[in-house]
A and B are shown apart, each in its own frame.
Chain A
Amino acid sequence: MMKIQTKYCGEITYESDQLLHFPEGLFGFEEEHTFLLLRLEDDEASPFCLQSTQTPELAFIVLDPFQLVPDYAPELSDADCARLGDPTGEHIALYAICVLREPMNESTVNLRCPIAMHMETQIAFQVMLTGDSGYTFRHRLSDLATAKGDTSC
């Protein structure tokens, strides 16, 4: 069991089998190879925090893109599928990185570069979809979802 100070979730303990492995890191963070995917709240639909285990102050807020765009259908390249280990569709999990800004309606989500993870091996890559995919680096969250108001947390 290991202990780490996280950026958004305080101090936590984790087991090594919870680690997600990013052989190539993330774009711009190529040296960061291990992360934890933590729910920000104890709720199945909660956004996640992708926390580096190498750098405590490095964490990303990531969302399930299908919650934002139910028909999200990124087409992974053959090369991406191969380096993921050719998982079948049901073994691929996708996550989208958010840029949260004040005010909230300036916040965006990157649907062009989702994180694709093989759920069985927990090996993940941030992939680059093609320009004609229709997905961009900055979709406004406010265009994709409407705040519910007083949802209890």
Chain B
Amino acid sequence: MLILQRRKGESIQIGNDITITVTELGADRVRLAIDAPRKTVIKRTELLEAVRMNREAATGAPAGVLQTLLKYPKE
């Protein structure tokens, strides 16, 4: 994995047509500006995980497991 150090206002280029610029630095977050062709799909990585979890949840609950769930503590 390539690790680079960048300051505010500096950028990196990926391939010929994607440029990522650091526009803001905070204590625990950075703001990035991404210049890429319109067809490039850009997503926050955690969103992919969220989609994966929802897709898996939507495949359905095994009947036996659903019965067990119904016996979980009820307050």
Contact residues of A with B, CB < 8 Å?
7-8, 26-29, 40-41, 43-47, 58-61, 67, 97-104, 107, 110, 112-113, 126, 128, 131-132, 137-138, 141, 145-151, 153
- Chain B residues contacting A27 (CB-CB under 8 Å) are 47, 50-51, 53-54
> A100-B61, A100-B69 are known contacts. Are A151 and B49 too (CB-CB below 8 A)?
no
At the interface, is chain B mostly helix, strand, loop or mixed? helix
A104 touches B28 (CB 8 A): no
A69–B44 Cα distance when bound, in Å, is 27
- Min CB distance A38 to B, Å, is 13
Closest Cβ of chain B to A63, distance in Å, is 8
Does B60 make an interface contact (CB < 8 A)?
A: yes
User: Which B residues, 38 to 75, have Cβ-Cβ distances below 8 Å to chain A?
Assistant: 44, 46-47, 49-58, 60-62, 64-66, 68-75
Residues of B within 8 A of A (CB): 28, 44, 46-47, 49-58, 60-62, 64-66, 68-75
The answer to whether A137 touches B73, judged by C-beta atoms less than 8 angstroms apart, is no
B74 to chain A, nearest CB (A): 3
Complex A-B: 28 CB contacts under 8 Å: A8-B66, A27-B47, A28-B54, A29-B58, A45-B75, A46-B70, A60-B54, A67-B75, A97-B53, A100-B57, A100-B62, A101-B65, A110-B50, A110-B57, A126-B50, A128-B46, A128-B50, A131-B46, A132-B28, A138-B53, A146-B73, A147-B73, A148-B73, A148-B74, A149-B71, A150-B71, A151-B70, A151-B74
